[in-house]
């Protein structure tokens, strides 16, 4: 991981916005030499930047395959779902949104989705989970906020344990986030749709690489294997999208149109 540094620590590093010329230099260098030691990149590429700045510029702006422009409703739905489960794990979220950087997701959250999510958490009960508020059964989604003080504080990560009954944080699913515990939990919760979706995912995607911590789930996924969005078949991606829809319903409630906000 670590590379031998030949960086001149006394070099005065430039800060601020990147010029098109700097972008081109960085892009050319990485295309020709590949990703390696970031501290040597600015020196070899002839840039008066530090390695961190180069890495950030590459991952957030220059990297091939990045989408620019507004987030789609489905992307927002995925972010809301993942945020409910992961909290502010932007880099993990970005793995599930191909073409979106963690910084972009983070910015979008802070500037827009956070408010949308606050609204979602304040809406009257609509979904199955919210119905729980009037009954005594297992899972319910309640805002951790009290009273009317929403706007001055950050939207807290959804207490997923309240939704799922989990006592421990999620470990890994599809690529990284849904844990074996959640697999089992969803099954134990008689969540037929989710179980079906998981089965469908395993059936469709079991030949794909999948990271699973802590051993194999009941189907043939092996520990330590890996799946990434970029490698998934269209069928697999469809199943995953369906799964996000179901997670979204579990967290926010069904029959909810995110575009209505």
Partner DNA sequence: AACCGACCCAACCGCCACTCT
Partner DNA sequence: GAGAGTGGCGGTTGGGTCGGT
Is 17 a binder of DNA (CB under 7 A)? yes
Is 56 a binder of DNA (CB under 7 A)? yes
**In 3-state terms, what secondary structure has residue 150?**
coil
Q: How far is the CB of 100 from DNA (least distance, A)?
A: 11
Using alpha carbons, select from 162, 178, 201 the residue that is nearest to residue 82.
178
Is 111 a binder of DNA (CB under 7 A)? yes
Is 73 a binder of DNA (CB under 7 A)? no
Interface region with DNA, contact rule CB under 7 A, candidates 2-10, 124-132, 186-194, 206-214: 2-10
Is 108 a binder of DNA (CB under 7 A)? yes
Identity of the residue, 11 or 207, whose beta carbon is nearer to DNA in the bound complex? 11
Is 92 a binder of DNA (CB under 7 A)? yes
Please enumerate, as own/partner, the contacts of 91-96 that have beta carbons within 8 Å and a separation of 24 or more. 92/176, 92/177, 95/175, 95/176, 95/228, 95/229, 96/174, 96/175, 96/177, 96/229
Q: What is the largest CA-CA distance in the chain?
A: 65
Between vectors from CA 121 to CA 71 and to CA 131, what angle results, nearest 5°?
Answer: 120
Among 10, 15, 20, 168, binds DNA (CB under 7 A): 15
Q: Give the binding site for DNA (CB under 7 A).
A: 1-5, 7, 14-18, 37-39, 49, 51-53, 55-57, 60-61, 88-92, 102-104, 106-108, 110-112
């Amino acid at each position: 991981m670590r590379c031998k540094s030949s960086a001149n620590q006394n070099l005065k590093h430039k800060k601020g916005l990147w010029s098109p010329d700097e972008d081109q230099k960085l892009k050319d260098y990485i295309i020709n030499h590949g990703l390696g030691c970031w501290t040597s990149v600015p020196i070899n590429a002839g840039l008066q930047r530090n390695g961190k700045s180069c890495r950030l510029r590459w991952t957030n702006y220059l990297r091939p395959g990045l989408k620019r422009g507004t987030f789609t409703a489905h992307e927002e739905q995925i972010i809301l779902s993942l945020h409910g489960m992961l909290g502010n794990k932007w880099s993990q979220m970005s793995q599930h949104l191909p073409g979106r950087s963690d910084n972009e997701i983070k910015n979008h959250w802070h500037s827009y989705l956070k408010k949308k999510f606050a609204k979602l958490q304040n809406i009257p009960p609509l979904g199955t989970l919210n119905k729980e508020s009037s009954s005594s059964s297992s899972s319910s989604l309640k805002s951790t906020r009290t009273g009317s003080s929403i706007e001055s504080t950050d939207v807290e990560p959804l207490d997923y344990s309240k939704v799922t009954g989990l006592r421990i944080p999620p470990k890994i699913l599809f690529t990284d986030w849904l844990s074996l515990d959640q697999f089992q939990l969803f099954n134990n919760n008689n969540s037929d749709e989710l179980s079906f979706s998981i089965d469908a995912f395993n059936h469709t995607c079991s030949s794909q690489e999948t990271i699973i911590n802590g051993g194999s789930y009941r189907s043939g996924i092996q520990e330590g294997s890996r799946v990434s969005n970029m490698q998934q078949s269209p069928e697999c991606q469809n199943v995953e999208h369906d799964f996000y829809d179901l997670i979204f319903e579990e967290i926010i409630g069904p029959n909810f149109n995110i575009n209505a906000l």
